[in-house]
Protein backbone atom coordinates (compact mmCIF):
# COMPACT_ATOMS: atom_id res chain seq x y z
CA UNK A 1 0.00 0.00 0.00
CA UNK A 2 2.75 2.46 0.93
CA UNK A 3 4.58 1.89 -2.35
CA UNK A 4 1.42 2.59 -4.37
CA UNK A 5 0.71 5.67 -2.25
CA UNK A 6 4.22 6.91 -3.00
CA UNK A 7 3.85 6.23 -6.74
CA UNK A 8 0.57 8.16 -6.93
CA UNK A 9 1.88 11.08 -4.87
CA UNK A 10 5.23 11.39 -6.64
CA UNK A 11 3.54 11.21 -10.05
CA UNK A 12 1.16 13.98 -8.99
CA UNK A 13 4.10 16.09 -7.79
CA UNK A 14 5.91 15.73 -11.14
CA UNK A 15 2.78 16.70 -13.08
CA UNK A 16 2.13 19.78 -10.94
CA UNK A 17 5.71 21.04 -10.92
CA UNK A 18 5.98 20.87 -14.71
CA UNK A 19 5.77 24.49 -15.92
CA UNK A 20 4.85 25.76 -12.46
CA UNK A 21 6.58 29.11 -13.04
CA UNK A 22 5.53 29.66 -16.65
CA UNK A 23 2.53 31.82 -15.79
CA UNK A 24 3.10 35.12 -13.98
CA UNK A 25 1.66 35.56 -10.53
CA UNK A 26 -1.81 37.05 -10.73
CA UNK A 27 -3.30 39.54 -8.28
CA UNK A 28 -4.59 37.09 -5.66
CA UNK A 29 -1.26 35.27 -5.54
CA UNK A 30 0.59 38.55 -5.12
CA UNK A 31 -1.75 39.35 -2.26
CA UNK A 32 -0.86 35.99 -0.67
CA UNK A 33 2.83 36.86 -0.84
CA UNK A 34 2.50 40.38 0.51
CA UNK A 35 -0.02 39.45 3.23
CA UNK A 36 2.31 36.68 4.40
CA UNK A 37 4.98 39.33 4.99
CA UNK A 38 2.81 40.86 7.71
CA UNK A 39 3.68 40.55 11.37
CA UNK A 40 2.29 37.27 12.81
CA UNK A 41 0.62 39.10 15.68
CA UNK A 42 -1.17 41.33 13.18
CA UNK A 43 -2.30 38.32 11.15
CA UNK A 44 -3.84 36.68 14.23
CA UNK A 45 -5.45 39.83 15.69
CA UNK A 46 -6.61 42.05 12.84
CA UNK A 47 -5.99 39.71 9.90
CA UNK A 48 -9.02 37.41 10.31
CA UNK A 49 -11.40 40.37 10.07
CA UNK A 50 -9.59 42.35 7.36
CA UNK A 51 -9.00 39.32 5.10
CA UNK A 52 -11.75 36.82 4.41
CA UNK A 53 -9.35 33.86 4.63
CA UNK A 54 -7.91 32.75 7.99
CA UNK A 55 -4.27 33.56 8.79
CA UNK A 56 -3.01 29.96 8.99
CA UNK A 57 -2.07 29.69 5.31
CA UNK A 58 -0.29 33.04 5.35
CA UNK A 59 1.67 32.11 8.48
CA UNK A 60 2.78 28.84 6.91
CA UNK A 61 3.67 30.65 3.69
CA UNK A 62 5.66 33.19 5.72
CA UNK A 63 7.83 30.40 7.12
CA UNK A 64 8.14 28.76 3.71
CA UNK A 65 9.33 31.82 1.78
CA UNK A 66 11.90 32.57 4.45
CA UNK A 67 13.36 29.13 3.82
CA UNK A 68 13.18 28.89 0.01
CA UNK A 69 12.64 32.45 -1.26
CA UNK A 70 9.87 34.36 -3.02
CA UNK A 71 10.15 33.26 -6.63
CA UNK A 72 7.14 32.10 -8.62
CA UNK A 73 8.03 28.42 -8.35
CA UNK A 74 8.89 28.73 -4.66
CA UNK A 75 5.63 30.52 -3.88
CA UNK A 76 3.52 27.91 -5.68
CA UNK A 77 5.43 24.84 -4.52
CA UNK A 78 3.36 24.36 -1.31
CA UNK A 79 0.19 24.33 -3.41
CA UNK A 80 1.65 21.74 -5.78
CA UNK A 81 2.67 19.56 -2.84
CA UNK A 82 -0.76 19.97 -1.22
CA UNK A 83 -2.65 18.89 -4.33
CA UNK A 84 -0.27 15.96 -4.85
CA UNK A 85 -0.81 14.78 -1.28
CA UNK A 86 -4.57 15.17 -1.82
CA UNK A 87 -4.22 12.69 -4.70
CA UNK A 88 -2.42 10.34 -2.33
CA UNK A 89 -5.25 10.70 0.18
CA UNK A 90 -7.72 9.81 -2.57
CA UNK A 91 -5.77 6.60 -3.12
CA UNK A 92 -6.00 5.81 0.60
CA UNK A 93 -9.74 6.46 0.61
CA UNK A 94 -10.27 4.14 -2.35
CA UNK A 95 -8.09 1.46 -0.81
CA UNK A 96 -10.18 1.54 2.38
CA UNK A 97 -13.45 1.40 0.45
CA UNK A 98 -12.72 -1.46 -1.92
CA UNK A 99 -9.09 -2.44 -2.03
CA UNK A 100 -6.07 -1.76 -4.17
CA UNK A 101 -7.70 -1.52 -7.60
CA UNK A 102 -10.19 1.20 -6.62
CA UNK A 103 -7.56 3.10 -4.68
CA UNK A 104 -5.02 3.03 -7.49
CA UNK A 105 -7.44 4.13 -10.21
CA UNK A 106 -8.95 6.86 -8.01
CA UNK A 107 -5.45 8.06 -7.10
CA UNK A 108 -4.39 8.17 -10.75
CA UNK A 109 -7.51 10.14 -11.67
CA UNK A 110 -6.85 12.57 -8.80
CA UNK A 111 -3.24 12.98 -9.93
CA UNK A 112 -4.41 13.82 -13.46
CA UNK A 113 -7.57 15.76 -12.55
CA UNK A 114 -7.29 19.06 -14.52
CA UNK A 115 -8.92 21.07 -11.73
CA UNK A 116 -6.39 19.75 -9.21
CA UNK A 117 -3.46 20.33 -11.56
CA UNK A 118 -4.53 23.93 -12.09
CA UNK A 119 -4.97 24.60 -8.39
CA UNK A 120 -1.55 23.07 -7.79
CA UNK A 121 -0.11 26.13 -9.50
CA UNK A 122 -2.02 28.71 -7.46
CA UNK A 123 -0.69 30.20 -4.23
CA UNK A 124 -3.99 30.64 -2.38
CA UNK A 125 -5.45 29.33 0.92
CA UNK A 126 -8.18 27.30 -0.79
CA UNK A 127 -5.50 24.87 -2.00
CA UNK A 128 -4.43 24.09 1.56
CA UNK A 129 -8.06 23.53 2.48
CA UNK A 130 -8.33 21.01 -0.38
CA UNK A 131 -5.60 18.88 1.19
CA UNK A 132 -7.11 19.09 4.67
CA UNK A 133 -10.53 18.16 3.27
CA UNK A 134 -9.04 15.04 1.68
CA UNK A 135 -7.40 14.05 4.99
CA UNK A 136 -10.69 14.62 6.84
CA UNK A 137 -12.50 12.39 4.35
CA UNK A 138 -9.93 9.61 4.84
CA UNK A 139 -10.31 9.77 8.63
CA UNK A 140 -14.10 9.81 8.37
CA UNK A 141 -14.07 6.72 6.16
CA UNK A 142 -11.57 5.02 8.48
CA UNK A 143 -13.89 5.58 11.44
CA UNK A 144 -17.09 4.56 9.69
CA UNK A 145 -15.61 1.47 8.02
CA UNK A 146 -13.60 0.27 11.04
CA UNK A 147 -14.89 -2.93 12.71
CA UNK A 148 -15.55 -1.40 16.12
CA UNK A 149 -18.91 -2.79 17.14
CA UNK A 150 -19.81 -3.11 20.79
CA UNK A 151 -16.21 -2.86 21.95
CA UNK A 152 -14.79 -5.68 19.86
CA UNK A 153 -12.64 -5.64 16.77
CA UNK A 154 -11.08 -8.56 14.97
CA UNK A 155 -7.34 -8.53 15.39
CA UNK A 156 -7.35 -5.47 17.64
CA UNK A 157 -7.14 -5.85 21.40
CA UNK A 158 -7.69 -2.14 22.08
CA UNK A 159 -10.67 -1.06 19.93
CA UNK A 160 -11.56 1.93 22.06
CA UNK A 161 -8.00 3.16 22.05
CA UNK A 162 -7.96 2.89 18.26
CA UNK A 163 -11.26 4.72 18.07
CA UNK A 164 -9.95 7.45 20.39
CA UNK A 165 -6.84 7.88 18.23
CA UNK A 166 -8.97 8.23 15.09
CA UNK A 167 -11.18 10.84 16.76
CA UNK A 168 -8.17 12.73 18.11
CA UNK A 169 -6.70 12.91 14.62
CA UNK A 170 -10.04 13.96 13.19
CA UNK A 171 -10.39 16.66 15.85
CA UNK A 172 -7.01 18.10 14.88
CA UNK A 173 -7.93 18.01 11.19
CA UNK A 174 -11.33 19.60 11.90
CA UNK A 175 -9.58 22.48 13.66
CA UNK A 176 -7.35 22.87 10.62
CA UNK A 177 -10.42 22.87 8.38
CA UNK A 178 -11.93 25.76 10.32
CA UNK A 179 -8.66 27.67 10.06
CA UNK A 180 -8.02 27.15 6.34
CA UNK A 181 -11.20 28.37 4.64
CA UNK A 182 -14.67 29.52 5.66
CA UNK A 183 -16.45 26.94 3.50
CA UNK A 184 -14.42 24.14 5.05
CA UNK A 185 -16.42 24.71 8.24
CA UNK A 186 -19.44 23.19 6.49
CA UNK A 187 -17.39 20.21 5.33
CA UNK A 188 -16.02 19.66 8.85
CA UNK A 189 -19.56 19.73 10.25
CA UNK A 190 -20.78 17.20 7.67
CA UNK A 191 -17.90 14.84 8.42
CA UNK A 192 -18.65 15.24 12.13
CA UNK A 193 -22.28 14.36 11.46
CA UNK A 194 -21.18 11.11 9.79
CA UNK A 195 -19.07 10.29 12.84
CA UNK A 196 -21.95 11.07 15.19
CA UNK A 197 -24.38 8.79 13.35
CA UNK A 198 -21.85 5.95 13.39
CA UNK A 199 -21.18 6.54 17.09
CA UNK A 200 -24.89 6.21 17.89
CA UNK A 201 -24.90 2.83 16.14
CA UNK A 202 -21.92 1.68 18.22
CA UNK A 203 -23.04 2.67 21.69
CA UNK A 204 -22.75 5.25 24.44
CA UNK A 205 -18.94 5.12 24.71
CA UNK A 206 -18.56 6.08 21.07
CA UNK A 207 -21.13 8.84 21.49
CA UNK A 208 -19.16 10.17 24.45
CA UNK A 209 -15.88 10.14 22.53
CA UNK A 210 -17.39 11.89 19.51
CA UNK A 211 -19.08 14.45 21.75
CA UNK A 212 -15.85 15.28 23.57
CA UNK A 213 -14.05 15.59 20.23
CA UNK A 214 -16.71 17.97 18.92
CA UNK A 215 -16.64 20.15 22.04
CA UNK A 216 -12.86 20.48 21.88
CA UNK A 217 -12.97 21.45 18.20
CA UNK A 218 -15.68 24.01 18.89
CA UNK A 219 -13.86 25.51 21.88
CA UNK A 220 -10.58 25.91 19.99
CA UNK A 221 -12.30 27.29 16.88
CA UNK A 222 -14.56 29.90 18.52
CA UNK A 223 -12.31 32.93 17.73
CA UNK A 224 -12.07 32.02 14.05
CA UNK A 225 -15.79 31.23 13.82
CA UNK A 226 -16.58 34.64 15.31
CA UNK A 227 -14.25 36.22 12.75
CA UNK A 228 -16.25 34.56 9.96
CA UNK A 229 -19.45 35.99 11.43
CA UNK A 230 -17.89 39.45 11.58
CA UNK A 231 -16.78 39.23 7.96
CA UNK A 232 -20.22 38.05 6.83
CA UNK A 233 -21.81 41.07 8.50
CA UNK A 234 -19.24 43.60 7.30
CA UNK A 235 -19.55 45.87 4.30
CA UNK A 236 -16.53 44.15 2.73
CA UNK A 237 -18.79 41.38 1.48
CA UNK A 238 -20.36 44.00 -0.78
CA UNK A 239 -17.26 43.90 -2.96
CA UNK A 240 -18.44 40.59 -4.42
CA UNK A 241 -21.08 40.62 -7.11
CA UNK A 242 -24.01 38.16 -6.82
CA UNK A 243 -23.59 34.90 -8.68
CA UNK A 244 -25.51 34.16 -11.83
CA UNK A 245 -26.87 30.74 -12.74
CA UNK A 246 -23.89 30.30 -15.01
CA UNK A 247 -21.54 30.98 -12.07
CA UNK A 248 -23.23 28.21 -10.10
CA UNK A 249 -22.93 25.86 -13.08
CA UNK A 250 -19.23 26.64 -13.24
CA UNK A 251 -18.88 25.15 -9.77
CA UNK A 252 -19.61 21.74 -11.28
CA UNK A 253 -18.07 22.34 -14.71
CA UNK A 254 -14.76 23.35 -13.13
CA UNK A 255 -14.39 20.04 -11.36
CA UNK A 256 -14.07 18.07 -14.60
CA UNK A 257 -12.39 20.59 -16.91
CA UNK A 258 -10.56 23.09 -14.71
CA UNK A 259 -12.59 25.89 -16.28
CA UNK A 260 -12.67 27.92 -13.05
CA UNK A 261 -9.24 29.38 -13.78
CA UNK A 262 -10.09 30.10 -17.43
CA UNK A 263 -7.26 28.00 -18.84
CA UNK A 264 -9.55 26.20 -21.27
CA UNK A 265 -10.82 28.50 -23.97
CA UNK A 266 -13.98 26.46 -24.60
CA UNK A 267 -17.56 27.56 -25.03
CA UNK A 268 -20.28 26.75 -22.51
CA UNK A 269 -21.72 24.00 -24.71
CA UNK A 270 -18.37 22.24 -25.04
CA UNK A 271 -17.72 22.48 -21.30
CA UNK A 272 -21.16 21.04 -20.53
CA UNK A 273 -20.68 18.24 -23.05
CA UNK A 274 -17.38 17.39 -21.38
CA UNK A 275 -18.45 17.74 -17.76
CA UNK A 276 -22.02 16.40 -17.60
CA UNK A 277 -21.22 12.76 -18.51
CA UNK A 278 -18.31 12.69 -16.07
CA UNK A 279 -20.42 14.08 -13.23
CA UNK A 280 -23.22 11.61 -13.98
CA UNK A 281 -20.72 8.75 -14.08
CA UNK A 282 -19.27 9.79 -10.71
CA UNK A 283 -22.74 9.82 -9.14
CA UNK A 284 -23.48 6.40 -10.63
CA UNK A 285 -20.23 5.14 -9.14
CA UNK A 286 -21.63 5.64 -5.63
CA UNK A 287 -24.06 2.80 -6.33
CA UNK A 288 -21.11 0.48 -6.95
CA UNK A 289 -19.60 1.08 -3.50
CA UNK A 290 -20.36 -0.43 -0.10
CA UNK A 291 -23.34 1.31 1.45
CA UNK A 292 -21.44 2.87 4.36
CA UNK A 293 -18.78 4.42 2.10
CA UNK A 294 -21.38 5.65 -0.39
CA UNK A 295 -23.35 7.31 2.41
CA UNK A 296 -20.24 9.09 3.69
CA UNK A 297 -19.36 10.43 0.23
CA UNK A 298 -22.95 11.41 -0.54
CA UNK A 299 -23.42 13.08 2.86
CA UNK A 300 -20.20 15.11 2.73
CA UNK A 301 -19.96 16.10 -0.94
CA UNK A 302 -23.69 16.11 -1.67
CA UNK A 303 -24.51 17.79 1.62
CA UNK A 304 -21.97 20.51 0.92
CA UNK A 305 -23.47 21.27 -2.48
CA UNK A 306 -27.01 21.24 -1.09
CA UNK A 307 -26.19 23.56 1.81
CA UNK A 308 -24.21 25.84 -0.48
CA UNK A 309 -27.15 26.11 -2.85
CA UNK A 310 -29.63 26.76 -0.03
CA UNK A 311 -27.53 29.23 1.94
CA UNK A 312 -25.77 31.10 -0.82
CA UNK A 313 -27.22 31.03 -4.32
CA UNK A 314 -26.52 34.76 -4.56
CA UNK A 315 -23.01 34.87 -3.11
CA UNK A 316 -19.71 33.02 -3.21
CA UNK A 317 -20.68 29.83 -1.39
CA UNK A 318 -20.54 27.86 -4.64
CA UNK A 319 -17.57 29.62 -6.19
CA UNK A 320 -15.73 27.23 -8.55
CA UNK A 321 -12.51 27.32 -6.55
CA UNK A 322 -14.10 25.65 -3.52
CA UNK A 323 -15.00 22.63 -5.62
CA UNK A 324 -11.91 21.20 -3.90
CA UNK A 325 -14.50 19.64 -1.58
CA UNK A 326 -15.64 17.42 -4.44
CA UNK A 327 -12.25 16.33 -5.82
CA UNK A 328 -11.81 13.10 -3.86
CA UNK A 329 -15.49 12.00 -4.03
CA UNK A 330 -15.53 12.79 -7.76
CA UNK A 331 -12.47 10.66 -8.49
CA UNK A 332 -13.66 7.86 -6.21
CA UNK A 333 -17.04 7.79 -7.94
CA UNK A 334 -15.45 7.73 -11.40
CA UNK A 335 -13.10 4.93 -10.38
CA UNK A 336 -15.91 2.84 -8.87
CA UNK A 337 -18.02 3.23 -12.02
CA UNK A 338 -15.06 2.42 -14.27
CA UNK A 339 -14.26 -0.78 -12.35
CA UNK A 340 -17.86 -2.00 -12.45
CA UNK A 341 -18.59 -4.70 -15.07
CA UNK A 342 -20.17 -2.19 -17.46
CA UNK A 343 -17.25 0.19 -17.05
CA UNK A 344 -14.68 -2.51 -17.74
CA UNK A 345 -16.62 -3.52 -20.84
CA UNK A 346 -16.11 -0.08 -22.40
CA UNK A 347 -12.56 0.16 -20.97
CA UNK A 348 -13.25 3.15 -18.76
CA UNK A 349 -10.26 2.35 -16.50
CA UNK A 350 -8.07 3.29 -19.47
CA UNK A 351 -10.25 5.91 -21.17
CA UNK A 352 -10.73 8.17 -18.12
CA UNK A 353 -7.02 8.59 -17.22
CA UNK A 354 -6.20 9.18 -20.89
CA UNK A 355 -8.91 11.84 -21.13
CA UNK A 356 -7.60 13.69 -18.08
CA UNK A 357 -4.03 13.36 -19.32
CA UNK A 358 -5.01 14.82 -22.70
CA UNK A 359 -6.59 17.85 -21.00
CA UNK A 360 -3.51 18.39 -18.84
CA UNK A 361 -1.20 18.14 -21.87
CA UNK A 362 -3.45 20.56 -23.76
CA UNK A 363 -3.28 23.20 -21.07
CA UNK A 364 0.50 22.84 -20.65
CA UNK A 365 1.16 22.88 -24.40
CA UNK A 366 -0.95 25.97 -24.97
CA UNK A 367 0.73 27.62 -22.03
CA UNK A 368 4.27 26.93 -23.20
CA UNK A 369 3.47 28.06 -26.73
CA UNK A 370 1.84 31.23 -25.34
CA UNK A 371 -1.23 30.84 -27.52
CA UNK A 372 -3.36 32.44 -24.83
CA UNK A 373 -3.03 33.91 -21.36
CA UNK A 374 -4.79 32.19 -18.45
CA UNK A 375 -4.10 34.99 -15.96
CA UNK A 376 -3.17 38.64 -15.98
CA UNK A 377 0.24 39.08 -17.59
CA UNK A 378 1.70 41.12 -14.76
CA UNK A 379 5.23 40.68 -16.11
CA UNK A 380 4.24 42.51 -19.30
CA UNK A 381 2.43 45.18 -17.29
CA UNK A 382 5.53 45.84 -15.18
CA UNK A 383 7.78 46.04 -18.25
CA UNK A 384 5.44 48.65 -19.76
CA UNK A 385 6.00 51.18 -16.97
CA UNK A 386 9.19 53.19 -16.56
CA UNK A 387 11.48 55.75 -18.22
CA UNK A 388 11.50 55.34 -21.97
CA UNK A 389 8.35 53.19 -21.96
CA UNK A 390 4.85 54.12 -23.08
CA UNK A 391 3.87 54.55 -19.42
CA UNK A 392 5.93 56.57 -16.97
CA UNK A 393 5.39 58.44 -13.74
CA UNK A 394 3.43 57.77 -10.54
CA UNK A 395 0.75 55.07 -10.66
CA UNK A 396 -2.74 55.75 -9.29
CA UNK A 397 -5.39 53.03 -8.96
CA UNK A 398 -8.90 52.43 -7.65
CA UNK A 399 -8.06 48.99 -6.23
CA UNK A 400 -5.16 47.79 -4.13
CA UNK A 401 -4.82 44.49 -6.00
CA UNK A 402 -3.97 46.35 -9.19
CA UNK A 403 -0.88 47.85 -7.56
CA UNK A 404 0.61 44.65 -6.19
CA UNK A 405 2.34 43.51 -9.38
CA UNK A 406 4.70 46.49 -9.25
CA UNK A 407 6.06 45.47 -5.85
CA UNK A 408 7.04 42.04 -7.22
CA UNK A 409 7.82 42.42 -10.93
CA UNK A 410 9.17 45.97 -11.29
CA UNK A 411 12.90 46.34 -10.54
CA UNK A 412 12.45 49.96 -9.39
CA UNK A 413 8.75 50.51 -8.66
CA UNK A 414 7.44 54.04 -9.24
CA UNK A 415 5.38 55.88 -6.67
CA UNK A 416 2.04 54.15 -6.16
CA UNK A 417 -1.17 55.69 -4.86
CA UNK A 418 -4.43 54.00 -3.97
CA UNK A 419 -7.31 56.45 -4.38
CA UNK A 420 -9.85 55.33 -1.79
CA UNK A 421 -12.13 56.95 0.77
CA UNK A 422 -12.65 55.65 4.35
CA UNK A 423 -16.30 54.82 3.64
CA UNK A 424 -15.58 52.45 0.76
CA UNK A 425 -15.70 48.64 1.20
CA UNK A 426 -12.35 47.07 1.96
CA UNK A 427 -10.71 50.34 3.01
CA UNK A 428 -9.41 48.89 6.29
CA UNK A 429 -7.56 46.00 4.62
CA UNK A 430 -6.22 48.30 1.89
CA UNK A 431 -4.89 50.67 4.54
CA UNK A 432 -3.35 47.82 6.54
CA UNK A 433 -1.48 46.49 3.51
CA UNK A 434 -0.21 49.86 2.27
CA UNK A 435 3.06 49.65 4.17
CA UNK A 436 3.72 46.07 3.06
CA UNK A 437 2.89 46.66 -0.62
CA UNK A 438 4.61 50.03 -0.81
CA UNK A 439 1.69 52.21 -1.91
CA UNK A 440 0.15 55.30 -0.31
CA UNK A 441 -3.57 55.69 0.34
CA UNK A 442 -4.95 59.07 -0.70
CA UNK A 443 -8.45 60.49 -0.76
CA UNK A 444 -10.38 61.10 -3.99
CA UNK A 445 -9.84 64.84 -3.61
CA UNK A 446 -6.07 64.35 -3.96
CA UNK A 447 -6.45 62.88 -7.44
CA UNK A 448 -7.07 66.28 -9.03
CA UNK A 449 -4.00 67.63 -7.27
CA UNK A 450 -1.86 64.92 -8.86
CA UNK A 451 -3.39 65.64 -12.26
CA UNK A 452 -2.54 69.31 -11.86
CA UNK A 453 1.02 68.84 -10.61
CA UNK A 454 2.33 65.90 -12.65
CA UNK A 455 3.78 65.80 -16.16
CA UNK A 456 3.05 62.10 -16.60
CA UNK A 457 0.85 59.58 -14.80
CA UNK A 458 -0.31 55.99 -15.05
CA UNK A 459 -3.95 55.43 -14.12
CA UNK A 460 -5.45 52.00 -13.38
CA UNK A 461 -9.26 52.21 -13.31
CA UNK A 462 -11.24 49.46 -11.60
CA UNK A 463 -14.97 48.81 -11.87
CA UNK A 464 -16.36 48.07 -8.38
CA UNK A 465 -19.86 46.77 -7.50
CA UNK A 466 -20.49 49.98 -5.54
CA UNK A 467 -19.81 52.07 -8.64
CA UNK A 468 -16.79 53.35 -10.57
CA UNK A 469 -13.88 54.50 -8.45
CA UNK A 470 -12.34 57.98 -8.53
CA UNK A 471 -9.75 57.03 -11.14
CA UNK A 472 -12.37 55.55 -13.47
CA UNK A 473 -14.56 58.61 -12.96
CA UNK A 474 -11.66 60.94 -13.76
CA UNK A 475 -11.05 59.15 -17.05
CA UNK A 476 -14.67 59.67 -18.07
CA UNK A 477 -14.30 63.44 -18.19
CA UNK A 478 -12.21 65.33 -20.77
CA UNK A 479 -8.54 65.63 -19.78
CA UNK A 480 -7.43 68.81 -21.50
CA UNK A 481 -3.73 69.11 -22.18
CA UNK A 482 -3.00 65.40 -21.81
CA UNK A 483 -1.96 62.81 -24.37
CA UNK A 484 -3.35 59.38 -23.52
CA UNK A 485 -2.05 55.96 -24.52
CA UNK A 486 -4.09 52.91 -23.54
CA UNK A 487 -2.32 49.59 -23.04
CA UNK A 488 -4.54 46.54 -22.63
CA UNK A 489 -2.85 43.70 -20.78
CA UNK A 490 -4.35 40.20 -21.29
CA UNK A 491 -7.06 39.25 -18.80
CA UNK A 492 -8.39 42.62 -17.82
CA UNK A 493 -5.61 45.00 -16.75
CA UNK A 494 -5.79 48.32 -18.63
CA UNK A 495 -3.06 50.95 -18.28
CA UNK A 496 -4.03 54.55 -19.10
CA UNK A 497 -0.72 56.30 -19.74
CA UNK A 498 -1.08 60.09 -19.49
CA UNK A 499 1.56 62.56 -20.59
CA UNK A 500 1.15 66.31 -20.84
CA UNK A 501 1.18 67.56 -24.40
CA UNK A 502 4.69 68.64 -25.29
CA UNK A 503 6.29 66.94 -22.26
CA UNK A 504 9.53 65.04 -22.85
| CA distances (Å), origin 410, targets 384, 403, 461, 486 | 10, 11, 20, 19
Does 211 score more than 90 pLDDT? yes
d(CA 483, CA 498): 6
Per-residue pLDDT tens over the stretch 322-352? 778 889 999 999 999 999 988 888 888 988 8
For 408-423, what is the mean pLDDT?
A: 84
Q: Give the alpha-carbon dihedral of 386, 392, 397, 402, to 10 degrees.
A: -20
Using the 8-state DSSP alphabet, how is residue 26 labeled? -
Q: Would the pLDDT of 98 be above 70?
A: yes
On whether the pTM is more than 0.85, the answer is yes
List, in order of start, the domains of the chain with CATH numbers.
2-21+71-368 (no CATH), 378-500 (3.40.50)
Q: Residue 286: what pLDDT?
A: 92
Which range has the top average pLDDT, 161-175, 388-402, 405-419, 477-491?
161-175
pLDDT at 314: 45
Interval 162-179 mean pLDDT: 94
- Mean pLDDT throughout 391-402? 86
Q: Is the C-alpha dihedral spanning 386, 432, 71, 321 positive or negative?
A: negative
Which pLDDT score is estimated for 264?
A: 46
Mean of the per-residue pLDDT values of the chain:
82
Q: Which of 285, 369, 251 is nearest to 106 (CA)?
A: 285
Q: What is the DSSP string of 181-230?
A: -TTHHHHHHHHHHHHHHHHHHH-HHHHHHHHHHHHHHHHHHHHHHHHHHH
Amino acid sequence: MLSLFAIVTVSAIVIRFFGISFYPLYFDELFSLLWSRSDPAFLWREGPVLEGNPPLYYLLLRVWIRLVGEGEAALRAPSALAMALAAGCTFLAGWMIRGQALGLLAGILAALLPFSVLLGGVARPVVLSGLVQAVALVLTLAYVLAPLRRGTAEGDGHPWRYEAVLLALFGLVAILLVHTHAMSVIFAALCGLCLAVQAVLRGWRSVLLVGVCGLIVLAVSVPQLLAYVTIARSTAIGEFAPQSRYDVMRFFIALASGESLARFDLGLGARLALSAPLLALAVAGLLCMPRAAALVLASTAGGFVLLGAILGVNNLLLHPRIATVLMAPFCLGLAAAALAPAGRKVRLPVVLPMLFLAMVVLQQTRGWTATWHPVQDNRLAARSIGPGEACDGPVLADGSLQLLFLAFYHPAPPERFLVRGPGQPGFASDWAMAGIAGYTVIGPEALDAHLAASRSLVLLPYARPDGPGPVATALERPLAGWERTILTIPKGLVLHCLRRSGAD
